[in-house]
């Protein structure tokens, strides 16, 4: 069972010195996996990070950070083109890093929400799917896969639920484009964790294991037994990655709406979350 | 046990013809209570509504709608003064309507979020508390009480949790200022429903009974047995009011981030929610 953590728990954006510090630190804490958000292209050296990650025996995933100027759902073709360029960069970074997946809300900018009619929505999904299909091929050629993440209603109006993600994935229709589910968002949007995970089924390539308030897994009310049982039922093989955000770092706290510390320290959150996930009977043996 | 519903499930903003239609309709559906949001002061006739509500044997509460121009936490004194004038109007409306409570996020505008340090936060709570104490006295003199509502992190950065609300209420220190808890927001922000409700204790004057996705109570994963048991343990006597939002009404759907219908129709949501709450064994006998 591979349990990972995002560097967002400690800092943002990542620079070479953060990678040099956090890769050994995360390995020493006992994690099997590290997730690296790419906020600014080439802000750290991917090949150098890859060597360090390999030395420390960690798995790795790349998290795409989709802001207003990189939005595949935007009406302006230049913004979409910029989104494509950014996501191709993330795929290349994943290849250099040895990461099997580029994950995140690849389909739309975080924080842009608007009301859509059924037809507008169908046209938009077609548009996004065409972009994602092209990216999936680009990724597959480099041994990388995409995992798109439904977000809660306050962060996007495009894909909030597994059911909506499947509408998009069926349009994309490429084996290198799957699904990331994050228990923080699921807790708001899904009527039942169990059903949503089973509905995701073989599409599920990545899981963000987060508490309902973004605190350490196990500190809130996410039904982990139900989650673990469903993950086992669908034969999930990917990692469980703790994603939370350092309340101390202004830019990330603002972006993720973190207004209070969710643990005594980033390390305390990491340690408590890891221990809980590692020892949870329903999660034991879930992931590969 | 009084079970209520907000007119927001059907429409917004309320006009006289909506009141004339919805009061009999909500009574006929079997509810005991109606909640009336006041978006525009005097957009409907309070005395006339009061007569209709009395004829139909309903209890009633007033929901304050706190937008950017009515914000008690705003740095601009004119905006705060406008907020005070608006909330005094809501209190007068409650008195005319025969409503015991004015409820809602009275302390800050919905949708305004920003990062605060500990000292800035303490100063802000002092400022808000002074305003709320004045309003509580104004309300008490009219037989009305206030119930402030913590909102989730995407809608406010001022009060997200019961613990934070208590910090404010202790500063207000007036018996006519209590707490409203909404299970939708609690689901995101509270580590345990049970603990949060017990912490609220005697401060709790009002409950919004909502599913995790704002659908009909019972259709999602809110732990209603835990909620009902805790409400009974603290001797809660107020109503349980279903608050959801008509996905069909553009302004309200946008304001509440409702991007998909949460039931087949407003009536279907109301009927299913009422039946569930009425028949739930842990909720039976909870409220007066």
Express each pLDDT in B23-42 by its tens digit. Answer: 999 999 999 999 999 999 99
**Selected residue of B114, B115, B185 to mutate for chain A interface (largest A Cβ count, 10 A):** B115
Out of A160, A215, A259, the one facing B259 most closely (by C-beta) is: A160
Q: Which residues of A touch B113 (CB under 8 A)?
A: 257, 259
Q: What is the pLDDT along chain A (288 residues), one digit of tens a residue?
A: 899 999 999 999 999 999 999 999 999 999 999 999 999 999 999 999 999 999 999 999 999 999 999 999 999 999 999 999 999 999 999 999 999 999 999 999 999 999 999 999 999 999 999 999 999 999 999 999 999 999 999 999 999 999 999 999 999 999 999 999 999 999 999 999 999 999 999 999 999 999 999 999 999 999 999 999 999 999 999 999 999 998 888 888 999 999 999 999 999 999 999 999 999 999 886 654
- Please answer yes or no on whether B223 and A219 come within 8 Å at the CB atom: no
Query: Which residue in the list A92, A149, A155, A211 is annotated as catalytic?
Result: A149
Confidence of residue B288 (pLDDT cuts 50, 70, 90): very low
Out of A192, A213, A257, the one facing B191 most closely (by C-beta) is: A213
Express each pLDDT in B101-133 by its tens digit. Answer: 999 999 999 999 999 999 999 999 999 999 999
Q: Nearest chain A Cα to B220, which residue?
A: A191
Distances (CA, A) of B226 to A47, A252, B192, B193, B241: 51, 34, 9, 7, 17
Query: Which residue in the list B35, B92, B155, B243 is annotated as catalytic?
Result: B243
Residue that has been written with the tokens 């006289």 in this structure: B16
- Please answer yes or no on whether B259 and A116 come within 8 Å at the CB atom: yes
Dist. CA B51–CA B57, nearest whole Å: 10
- Please answer yes or no on whether B188 and A192 come within 8 Å at the CB atom: no
Distances (CA, A) of B129 to B66, B138, B166, B196: 16, 14, 11, 21
Distance from CA of A117 to the nearest CA of B (A): 9
B204: which strand partners?
B179
Closest CA to B217 of B261, B182, B167: B182
What is the CB-side half-sphere exposure of residue B111 using CA atoms within 13 A? 11
Express each pLDDT in B147-203 by its tens digit. Answer: 999 999 999 999 999 999 999 999 999 999 999 999 999 999 999 999 999 999 999
- Please answer yes or no on whether B189 and A154 come within 8 Å at the CB atom: no
Dist. CA B71–CA B60, nearest whole Å: 25
Q: Is the pTM of this model over 0.80?
A: yes
pLDDT for res B286: 61
**Sign of the CA dihedral with B227 first, then B110, A9, and A111 last:** positive
Dist. CA A214–CA A202, nearest whole Å: 26
Radius of gyration of chain A (CA): 17
Dist. CA A7–CA A261, nearest whole Å: 16
Out of B115, B189, B219, the one facing A254 most closely (by C-beta) is: B115
Dist. CA B268–CA B262, nearest whole Å: 10
Residues with Cβ within 8 Å of B32's Cβ and at least 6 positions away in sequence, in order, are: B1, B2, B3, B4, B57, B58, B59, B239
Confidence of residue B246 (pLDDT cuts 50, 70, 90): confident
pLDDT for res B84: 98
Express each pLDDT in B253-262 by its tens digit. Answer: 999 999 999 9
Question: Which tokens belong to B114?
Answer: 């920003």
Q: Nearest chain B Cα to A191, which residue?
A: B220
pLDDT for res A288: 46
Out of A116, A219, A257, the one facing B191 most closely (by C-beta) is: A219
Dist. CA A223–CA A198, nearest whole Å: 15
| Catalytic annotation present for A243 | yes
Q: In chain A, which residues touch B (CB < 8 A)?
A: 113-116, 152-155, 157, 160-161, 164, 187-193, 211-213, 215, 219-221, 223, 250, 253-254, 257-260
Dist. CA A158–CA A165, nearest whole Å: 9
Distance from CA of B56 to the nearest CA of A (A): 34
Q: Which residues of A touch B73 (CB under 8 A)?
A: none
**Sign of the CA dihedral with A259 first, then A265, A270, and A272 last:** negative
Out of A215, A220, A259, the one facing B153 most closely (by C-beta) is: A259
Instruction: Reply yes or no on whether the pLDDT at B59 is more than 50.
Output: yes
**Can the peptide bond before residue B13 be classed as cis, meaning omega within 30 degrees of 0?**
yes
Q: Which residues of A touch B152 (CB under 8 A)?
A: 154
Please give the torsion angle defined by the CA atoms of residues A16, A18, A21 and A25, in that order, rounded to the nearest 10 degrees: -130
A148: which strand partners?
A104, A179
- Please answer yes or no on whether A220 and B116 come within 8 Å at the CB atom: no
Distances (CA, A) of B6 to B10, B97, B240, B269: 8, 15, 11, 12
Q: Which residues of B touch A258 (CB under 8 A)?
A: 153
Distance from CA of A220 to the nearest CA of B (A): 4
Closest CA to B191 of A32, A260, A193: A260
Instruction: Reply yes or no on whether the pLDDT at B251 is more than 90.
Output: no
Radius of gyration of chain B (CA): 17
Residue that has been written with the tokens 């006009």 in this structure: B15
- Please answer yes or no on whether A188 and B187 come within 8 Å at the CB atom: yes
Dist. CA B200–CA A27, nearest whole Å: 41
Distance from CA of A195 to the nearest CA of B (A): 11
Closest CA to A256 of B123, B152, B254: B152
Please, are residues B142 and B95 in contact by the beta-carbon 8 Å criterion? yes
Phi, psi dihedrals of residue A68, rounded to the nearest 5°: -55, -30
Confidence of residue B284 (pLDDT cuts 50, 70, 90): confident
Question: Which tokens belong to B55?
Answer: 């004829």
**Element of type H or E holding A179:** strand A177-182
**Selected residue of A108, A187, A188 to mutate for chain B interface (largest B Cβ count, 10 A):** A188
Distance from CA of A155 to the nearest CA of B (A): 8
Out of B153, B161, B260, the one facing A257 most closely (by C-beta) is: B153
CB-defined contacts A:B, below 8 A: 85
SS3 label, residue A55: helix
| Catalytic annotation present for A189 | no
Out of B153, B221, B250, the one facing A192 most closely (by C-beta) is: B221
Query: Which residue in the list B149, B155, B190, B211 is annotated as catalytic?
Result: B149
């Amino acid at each position: 069972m591979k349990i990972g953590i995002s560097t967002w728990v400690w800092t943002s954006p990542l620079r070479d010195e953060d990678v040099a510090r956090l890769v050994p630190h995360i390995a020493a804490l006992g994690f099997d996996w590290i997730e690296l958000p790419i906020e600014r292209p080439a802000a750290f050296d991917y090949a150098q990070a890859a060597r360090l990650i390999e030395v420390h025996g960690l798995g790795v995933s790349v998290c795409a950070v989709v802001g207003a100027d990189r939005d595949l759902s935007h009406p302006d073709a230049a913004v979409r083109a910029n989104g494509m360029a950014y996501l191709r960069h993330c795929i290349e970074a994943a290849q250099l890093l040895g990461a099997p997946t580029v994950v995140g809300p690849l389909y739309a900018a975080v924080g842009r929400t608007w009301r859509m009619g059924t037809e507008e929505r169908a046209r938009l999904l077609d548009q996004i799917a065409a972009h994602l299909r092209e990216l999936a091929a680009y990724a597959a050629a480099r041994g990388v896969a995409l995992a798109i993440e439904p977000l809660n209603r306050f962060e996007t109006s495009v894909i909030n639920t597994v059911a909506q993600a499947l509408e998009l994935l069926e349009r994309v229709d490429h084996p290198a484009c799957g699904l990331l589910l994050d228990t923080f968002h699921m807790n708001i949007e899904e009527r039942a964790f169990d059903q949503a995970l089973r509905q995701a089924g073989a599409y599920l390539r990545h899981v963000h294991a987060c508490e309902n308030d973004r605190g350490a897994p196990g500190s809130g009310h996410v039904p982990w037994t139900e989650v673990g049982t469903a993950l086992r039922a669908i034969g999930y093989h990917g990692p469980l990655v703790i994603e939370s955000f350092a309340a101390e770092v202004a830019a990330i706290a603002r972006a993720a709406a973190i207004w209070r510390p969710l643990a005594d320290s980033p390390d305390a959150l990491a340690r408590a979350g890891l221990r809980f996930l590692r020892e949870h009977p329903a999660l034991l043996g879930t992931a590969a």
